Structure 1
């Protein structure tokens, strides 16, 4: 089968059978299109003509281009997964990418906003919201929810009114792979959310709003780009942190939960991680902080 035909079938598989998001499907197909463009340059135009050496040459070219190890590793994983699927679909007899070895991912620790910085941040948001501006009320509520629950920005913008349980202080979230989970939030987030729903949301609401909790200036559901820009701006205003964007608040929530003694599996459930290994990354952050404190304070460190 030619590459275009295989990609069309794979797209259908990812969306119809695997129920992957539009963003995920686009990312997978983009990686594969890059692979196929590379091997076509070597005279290979059919799936059954691919050999291990072609995959290795592709990764070598990616490495020579200066691409990050994490990106190369992701593209290699995409290629292996695709070829496994192609074998199951009997498009190829064997998977030549099985012995493909990508460079190990760089172990980067997430940037975390400190407790003191968060105090400054939330004080500033509360001060702005006190004037009653709908935009300030919404930004405060979104930041409180992002940090108070650790939800992803895509999960935040997808919230509907009936996903909120004010009495129990929980959110019903639709995460990756359309997996639903319930996440608790605290009193500050509850107050900020209630303030937005009572005083801010009616200002933005239009017939296009539907049940969306958070709204754009035209009344429709707010988009991720707007949220990212708003959070990026307020974090940059702190001046003394390298943390940026909504994901920094998710990282901070996870790290602070573990620092406070939360069970690792409970944090996994709150964050919606499918693998405990992903959640364990945050234990490295906490241990690293512990080590620095030890070295600074212990006389025999």
Structure 2
């Protein structure tokens, strides 16, 4: 059999599999999500739901057979496993998204979808994880990057400066290109969640660290703002991944000899610093690209320190 015949046969099989996948409401739901990260997260959640239902993956789960009581049983199972209310509600949102697609594809009737849509979210909350870094810890992080005279030291200082000074998410940081910088206003055009753009104004420190990275190391060529650096200071044109940023921060944390922190803690630190400086919650919400004030409030870590100080004054 010739290569061309094999190629045509392979293409037909792939097309057939693709068409079959599109008939799956879970696949249709994942395709409808705009963010790659959201697709990955919800795919993982749907796989967990599928396993609860006794299936191997979301692709072989009989979504069109689910009823309201099935959804409620899944919620109870997740709560029994210790999932937080917020996490369970994310599972519920994913299931409802799949069932909306099932209804749109005429796989379930309107009554079934209406009953499932009326399943209520779980109430309650858990103490937020994460923390805000202290001024001492921030100083230590920049101390180790400034002492590193390699190209990585300059790059990593700029990365930390933008995460801290602009409150960027890792995915937002690595998606930045050179042409996203507006030099006149010293701002970044950031693509956030939900395909929503916002302008992020850089404080002087962030701007200075970024300029040092651009002028001394990276150069002014178009492309990714932050790139990989191989051994012997070989600066590449390859875009950094958000996982690479995670490892960079982990390395710098150990070098700085400070308590471990998650990359998102730098975003929490940004929110806490802005609020501590007297900025109103709406301004902080807009700066962080949040859709609601309630989300922004969860990033405020000032209350923890206030409660700790108050508790330390109790004598008995």
TM bin, normalised by shorter chain, reads 0.7 to 0.9
Give structure 1 regions of 4+ aligned residues with deviation exceeding 6 angstroms. Answer: 1-4
Give the TM-score of the pair, scaled to structure 1.
Answer: 0.82
The answer for the alignment partner of 1:211 in structure 2 is 223
**Where does structure 1 lack aligned partners over 5 or more consecutive residues?**
none
What CA RMSD, in Å, does the superposition of the two structures yield over aligned residues?
3.0
Q: Paired residue for 1:237? A: 255
SS of equivalent residue, structure 1 residue 216: strand
**Aligned residue runs from structure 1 range 141-180, under 5 A:** 141-180=158-197
| Aligned partner (choices 20, 28, 37) of residue 9 of structure 1 | 28
More off after superposition, 142-151 vs 96-105: 96-105
User: Which 10-residue stretch deviates more, 63-72 or 133-142?
Assistant: 63-72
| 1:123 aligned partner | 143
Partner residue of 2:124 out of 74, 82, 104: 104
Contact 2:28 2:101 in 1 (8 A): no
CA distance in 1, matches of 2:49, 2:129: 29
- Cα distance in 2 for partners of 1:2, 1:210 equals 38
Corresponding position of 1:113? 133
Please give the alpha-carbon distance, in whole angstroms, between the structure 2 residues aligned to 1:45 and 1:193: 48
Find the aligned partners of 2:61 and 2:174 in 1 and give their Cα distance.
42
Preserved CA contact (<8 Å) 2:26 2:98: no
Distance 1:168 1:45, change over 3 A: closer
Aligned equivalents of 1:198, 1:212: Cα separation in 2: 15
1:9/1:117 Cα in 2 relative to 1: closer, same or farther (>3 Å)? closer
- The CA deviation string for residues 137-188 of structure 1, in whole angstroms up to 9 with x for no partner, is 1011111111010011111111111111233221110111111100111122
Q: CA deviation at 1:101?
A: 4.8
Alignment CA distance shift 1:101-1:110 (3 Å): same
Alignment partner, residue 27 of structure 1: 41
Q: Deviations over 1:27-75 (max 9, x none)?
A: 223322332343356xx96444322222233233334445555433321
**1:49 pairs with one of 65, 74, 77:** 65
Q: Which consecutive residues of structure 2, in runs of 5 or more, have no partner in the other structure?
A: 1-19, 230-235
Instruction: Find the residue that maps to 1:181 and give its secondary structure.
Output: strand
How far residue 109 of structure 1 moved from its aligned partner, in angstroms, is 4.3
Q: What TM-score do the two structures reach when normalised by structure 2?
A: 0.78
User: Is 2:307 aligned against 1:291?
Assistant: yes
Contact 2:25 2:98 in 1 (8 A): no
CA deviation after TM superposition for structure 1 residue 119, in Å: 1.6
Aligned length: 283
**Residues 144, 255 of structure 2: 8 Å contact kept:** no
Deviations 1:245-269 (A, max 9, x none): x211111111111011111111111
Cα displacement string for residues 61-104 of structure 1 (whole angstroms, at most 9, x for unaligned residues): 33444555543332123213332444455432233432255463
